[in-house]
Amino acid sequence: MLRLSTFRPAAVVRPPIRVPVQRAAFSVSAARLSGKKRDEKINYNRVSFSESPKAEYANFRRVTANDLEKLTSPPTEVKMLVREFIEDSLYNPNYGYFPRQATIFTATDPINFNAMRNAAQFQEEVAKRYQTFEVDEEGPGRQIWHTPTELFKPWYGQAIAQCLVAEYLLKYFPYEDLVIYEIGAGNGTLARDILDYLRDVHPEVYDRTRYNIVEISGNLANLQRKLLCEEHPCVKVNHRSIFKWDTPEPSPCFFLAMEVIDNFAHDIIRYDIKTLEPYQGWVTIDKHGDFDMYFSRVTDPLISSFLALRRRLAHPPPLSRLLKMDRLRSVYAKLPFAPNLTAPEYIPTRSLTLLRTLRQHFPRHRLLLSDFSSLPDTVPGVCGPVVQTRVKSTSVPCETILVKQGYFDIFFPTDFGRLCDMYEHVLTEPNPSGVPYDPRISPLTTSVSPLAAGANFFSSYHPKSRRPPIDGVASSSGLPVGERKSQVYTHAEFLETYADLERTKLKSGENPMLDYYQNVKFLF
């Protein structure tokens, strides 16, 4: 989601203040194996000169975010992987950040951009609307943030609609329905703007549209039903997590993930200075509710598969050139007070889960994804997140992820180049279910496999910009031509292609829909 910290109207937002928080300064010392088998009880702990792990960690119950869903308050005397801690903090139905605290800024009326003198007046208008929407409370109160969908409605949503309908008319109309899936649909504004545009401008497409929302928040799912289902009967709201999706969609479809994956949980890994072996991070919560963290050898299957995929894609780990040299690394490890692990790296393991879900259950999808490519005020570490809350209308960033569950937003930047590489590679992997792809009967589906004569029957040349064709699915030309591979676009590049920019132009000639959110990119 796009937060206030990335768009600061000068009239109301003071510079962020920093408050004392429980810090996680995990400087570490070498653990003595003493002939014992190395396992998760070996603690690379935050006490710099102690070589002994806390014995109580070994007896803590290991839990996942799914295990904690029925709890009404945060757990104690447990341990969990970092991604499970983040997921529980953000999404627990009873005390998580999104069910309890988060509110999306919603303007009652669209802004009349053409009537604005310049960007300064536009900022003042946004600030004024923000003030009327926000309630000043003591302590961490209602957590408010806005999205480009709300700020530039309906024109931003119409740009997304134009992108989808252009692809649909080119490839599938009139033989296939327009099937759209959106995860994390917020207030439902984007879906409404897309459907309103289709109904008013492309009624023949609207009649063939099926719009499916996958929403983890019960409150937002109810809000989406009230806003959309009566006016647009083609909408179906599914109150569930996309990570629990198990219904196959054989039709060609478009999959929207707009300002969503920044809140996907990450894991933490650190590398042994001597061996460069990766270690996975664990969060512990003691009987008093205090947090700590320790590291063990990588045993989690999802972390292992992410690291293996990264090696196959030749994405190097974030190690300095000096640490990659054996001799210098050995000298560094012998220095007094030198840590035995590298700085933490946050890896997008949940994003990998999403890509594999798409591969398995949406084999003919086209992904349209937008989110942060960089962020200010991140916690220390490689690809670290922003951890922040709002106190009396002021954003307060923190310097650790170990904060009280439910009161803090935790959101990450995305390396779009690496995400694109991962996505395209995952799509070429065998179907994880082991069941061959079985397309529906359709004018665009052949009864004889187009690959029966070999993928290179018509030409031995296969462009690098296109995916291998799906067996059993021909293109509109009838030939086995694969889909165009996804590409990365800046926020401005995407909108210059699909948006009606005259609608958001100010009198001065400035265009805030292009000028703002420069730290956002698209994958399509």
pLDDT in tens, 472-494: 555 554 445 568 899 999 999 99
Q: How far is it, in rounded angstroms, from Cα 309 to Cα 246?
A: 24
What's the mean pLDDT in 163-175? 95
pLDDT above 50 (res 222): yes
Q: Which residue has the higher pLDDT, 146 or 84?
A: 84
What's the mean pLDDT in 34-46? 37
Q: Which residue has the higher pLDDT, 389 or 20?
A: 389
Question: What pLDDT does 437 receive?
Answer: 52
Nearest CA to 403 out of 387, 381, 379, 380 is that of: 387
Question: What pLDDT does 337 receive?
Answer: 64
pLDDT above 50 (res 39): no
Question: Is 291 inside a domain boundary?
Answer: no
Q: pLDDT band for 252, please (50, 70, 90 cuts).
A: very high
∠ at Cα 445 (441, 446), nearest 5°?
105
pLDDT tens by residue, 174-206: 999 999 999 999 889 999 999 999 999 999 999
Question: Is 504 inside a domain boundary?
Answer: no
Question: Is 132 inside a domain boundary?
Answer: yes
What's the mean pLDDT in 309-332? 83
Question: What pLDDT does 456 receive?
Answer: 53
Question: What pLDDT does 242 receive?
Answer: 96
pLDDT above 70 (res 359): yes
Question: Is 127 inside a domain boundary?
Answer: yes
Question: What pLDDT does 22 receive?
Answer: 34
What's the mean pLDDT in 343-360? 97
Q: Which residue has the higher pLDDT, 159 or 431?
A: 159
Question: What pLDDT does 13 receive?
Answer: 29
Q: How many helices (H) and strands (E) does the chain have?
A: 15, 18
**pTM score over 0.85:** no
Question: What pLDDT does 450 receive?
Answer: 47
What's the mean pLDDT in 429-448? 58
pLDDT above 80 (res 517): yes
Of 129-138, 285-294, 346-355, 374-383, the range with the lowest mean pLDDT is: 129-138
What share of the chain in percent tops pLDDT 70? 75
Question: Is 137 inside a domain boundary?
Answer: yes
Question: Is 27 inside a domain boundary?
Answer: no
pLDDT above 90 (res 256): yes
Q: Are 491 and 521 in contact (CB under 8 A)?
A: yes
Q: Are 471 and 478 in contact (CB under 8 A)?
A: no
When mean pLDDT is compared over 163-167, 215-219, 457-461, the highest value belongs to 163-167
Q: pLDDT band for 272, please (50, 70, 90 cuts).
A: confident
Residues 296, 420, 415, 4: is their CA dihedral positive or negative?
A: negative
Q: Can you read off the two tokens belonging to residue 241?
A: 């997590």
What's the mean pLDDT in 321-334? 73
Question: Is 116 inside a domain boundary?
Answer: yes
What's the mean pLDDT in 37-62? 56
Question: What pLDDT does 268 receive?
Answer: 97
Tell me whether residue 84 is exposed, middle or buried, using C-beta atoms within 10 angstroms of its C-beta: 0 to 12, 13 to 18, 19 or more: buried
Q: Which residue has the higher pLDDT, 134 or 28?
A: 134
Distances (CA, A) of 499 to 130, 155, 337, 374, 510: 25, 7, 56, 23, 15
For the chain, the domain total comes to: 1
Q: Are 489 and 345 in contact (CB under 8 A)?
A: no
Question: What pLDDT does 472 receive?
Answer: 52
Of 310-314, 319-323, 353-357, the range with the lowest mean pLDDT is: 319-323
- What count of Cα atoms within 13 Å lies in the side-chain half-sphere of residue 260? 24
> Which domain, by its residues, includes 142?
4-15+100-148
pLDDT above 50 (res 263): yes
- Residues linked to residue 389 through DSSP beta bridges, in sequence order: 396
Question: Is 60 inside a domain boundary?
Answer: no
